[in-house]
Chain A
Amino acid sequence: MISVEHLTKRYGRHTAVDDVSFRCEPGTVTGFLGPNGAGKSTTMRMICGLTPPSGGGATVAGRPYRELPNPGLEVGVLLDASAQHAGRTGREALTVAAATMGVDRRQVAAKLDLVGLNGVAAKRRVRAYSLGMRQRLGLAHAMLGDPRVLILDEPANGLDPEGIFWMRGLLRDYADRGGTVLLSSHLLREVEAVADRLVVIGGGRIVAQGEKDELLAGGGTLVRARDAAALRGALERAGLAVTDGTDGLLVRAAAEAVGQAAADAGVALTELRAAGSGGLEQLFLTLTAGASTKEAVR
């Protein structure tokens, strides 16, 4: 279990993470979403006691991370797949970690096997690894102590589609067996398939969080017409909030109200449906644009 409360990090006048609070429960996968530079990695480093927070705090398995006697046995951490000594072999990197934690050496081979790094790959130096192989090694490293909690920063980076599919299965299975997973990504699609809950962060602040299904359903209505300008005019006259979606106009209103507004203005629609994940994706796209969206989501 992970509990984050009012976590804040300021660098000089810049606030990288601003009053972030969320919880990750056992048996769930929490997707931590946000564009690059939103504060995901800083938040995760603060959870793991590597970056001192300016305010607030976090506990893992009921305690602040730095007070865990042997963290590797309780929390598996993968913050950067490239954070391995380039001159060590993959197997040696895991052996060093196993020795630190006091884990049986046989676990090294078992976890290498689990992540699909074969004997040849394990004997190569990390320098020669592709990013995908480093991610697999990092995942093996995180799971080495059979922890109950996994904290993974962008674990899908560099994995091929088959690898991403494999990782989803691995994490889903891990959560189904009672584990707690927090994984970050800047790609909604990547976590959509595996996460139960989503925490969306932008500009250091949480802009949305909740059950994935709820968040995806609450995305408003997508509407299209051949005459987009007329449609937009009609909707705005009806007092509805309109934004440009990826494939049509996105309206924060029920389909009925949107259809009525279009009918009143005599605009012929070509499409009218619940936006689904398009809404979240839209939110996601606009996160990079500025602060205005944060207001819209509230």
Chain B
Amino acid sequence: MTTTATPPAVAPRRRSDVRRPSLLRLTGVELRKLVDTRAGLWLLITIGLSAAVIAVVQLIWTPDAEQTFANFFLPSMLPIGLLLPVLGILSVTGEWSQRTALTTYALVPRRGRVVAAKLAAMVLAALASVLVSLGVAAVGTLVAGATGGAGTWRFEASLLLHAVVLQVANVLMGAAFGLLLLNTPLAIVGFLLLPTLWTILGGMIRPLREPAGWLDTGRTMEPLLTPDVTADQWARFAVSLLVWLVVPLVAGLVRTLRREVS
């Protein structure tokens, strides 16, 4: 006699089993999604390499006296500030261009939670990028010290705080552009071009010069690369973020929540 194994019944799930995925878990998933595609991984590698390349260039070309920790740290942030937001854009727009929104939002119908997790993941990535900058600067300083450069470690804590604020603002700006435009090339071009366009126009057109001091992120972000920022400079920075970060973020959030997924 043969025994047949009865397949398990499709059991009704007990309600208590089913819990909403926590924001922490969703953030972990979004962090994973940043690196589990070839595009994302290579973008991250490029960002790391470009920071390292800048340090090497400085070791060769910068006068020995200027090869200090702070002077290695600040330039390494520039390529990161430019490229990391692109990762934020990809994270948001990729859902639509790769059509994964269909599966993502079927698993988490509260789209706001997915967006919140994406923003949290981007902030974590920005924080990690500052650690990378610190690492690159430390290695640069060590090498400089060994090869006749200044190699001084003097570094003001406020500069670190400014760096964190700057990088977080940069990635969130990228994510906001992504949310608003929901289209990869458009968001990348918009993010990279619009502020630059402002800088050019603000420089050329006289009546724009005064508003540009408040709205051109290229100018309002500059003071944050120094240890001392005045209240007026903070205010200008905040206003420019309101226009380039908060407004597109809110508008983009509304658009993402309402958009039909197909």
CA distance A41 to B262 in the complex (A): 9
- Asked if A87 is at the interface of the complex by the 8 Å CB criterion, the answer is yes
- Interface range, B side: 35 or more
- Asked if B84 is at the interface of the complex by the 8 Å CB criterion, the answer is no
- Asked if B196 is at the interface of the complex by the 8 Å CB criterion, the answer is no
Q: From B19, B25, B94, B102, give the contact of A50 (CB < 8 A).
A: B102
Task: From known contacts A100-B25, A102-B21, A177-B7, infer whether A83 and B102 are also in contact, taking CB-CB under 8 Å.
Answer: yes
CA distance A173 to B5 in the complex (A): 13
Task: From known contacts A74-B18, A87-B39, A179-B10, infer whether A99 and B109 are also in contact, taking CB-CB under 8 Å.
Answer: no
Q: From A41, A77, A96, give the contact of B32 (CB < 8 A).
A: A96
CA distance A88 to B17 in the complex (A): 30
> Across the interface, which residues of A come within 8 angstroms of B103, CB to CB?
77, 83-84, 97, 141
Whether the pair A177, B9 counts as a contact (CB closer than 8 A) is: yes
Whether the pair B107, A83 counts as a contact (CB closer than 8 A) is: no
Q: From B21, B33, B100, B258, give the contact of A70 (CB < 8 A).
A: B21
Within 8 A of B (CB), among A57-112: 65-66, 68-74, 77, 79-80, 82-88, 92, 96-97, 99-102
Chain B nearest CB from A95 CB (Å) reads: 8
The number of chain A residues with a CB under 8 A from chain B is: 43
> Across the interface, which residues of B come within 8 angstroms of A87, CB to CB?
37-40, 98
Query: What's the A-B contact tally at a CB cutoff of 8 Å?
Result: 114
Task: From known contacts A45-B261, A148-B10, A177-B10, infer whether A101 and B109 are also in contact, taking CB-CB under 8 Å.
Answer: no
CA distance A100 to B11 in the complex (A): 21
> Across the interface, which residues of B come within 8 angstroms of A99, CB to CB?
25, 28-29, 32
CA distance A49 to B257 in the complex (A): 11
CA distance A182 to B116 in the complex (A): 32
Secondary structure type dominating chain A contacts: loop
> Across the interface, which residues of A come within 8 angstroms of B33, CB to CB?
96
- Asked if A52 is at the interface of the complex by the 8 Å CB criterion, the answer is yes
Q: From A45, A70, A148, give the contact of B12 (CB < 8 A).
A: A148
CA distance A80 to B29 in the complex (A): 22
Chain B nearest CB from A28 CB (Å) reads: 12
Closest to A98 in B: B29
- Asked if A129 is at the interface of the complex by the 8 Å CB criterion, the answer is no
Q: Which of A71, A74, A85 has the most CB of B within 10 A?
A: A85
Whether the pair B109, A66 counts as a contact (CB closer than 8 A) is: yes
Whether the pair A173, B98 counts as a contact (CB closer than 8 A) is: no
- Asked if B99 is at the interface of the complex by the 8 Å CB criterion, the answer is yes
> Across the interface, which residues of A come within 8 angstroms of B128, CB to CB?
none
Q: From B9, B36, B107, B110, give the contact of A101 (CB < 8 A).
A: B107
Interface pairs (28), CB distance under 8 Å: A45-B260, A50-B260, A50-B262, A51-B261, A66-B109, A66-B110, A68-B18, A68-B109, A69-B19, A71-B108, A72-B107, A73-B18, A74-B18, A77-B103, A79-B102, A80-B99, A84-B98, A84-B99, A86-B98, A88-B37, A97-B107, A100-B21, A141-B103, A146-B10, A177-B9, A178-B9, A178-B11, A178-B12
Known A-B contacts: A79-B102, A85-B100, A100-B26. Give 12 more (CB < 8 A).
A48-B109, A49-B105, A50-B105, A50-B260, A68-B109, A73-B13, A77-B106, A84-B98, A87-B98, A100-B107, A102-B19, A177-B8
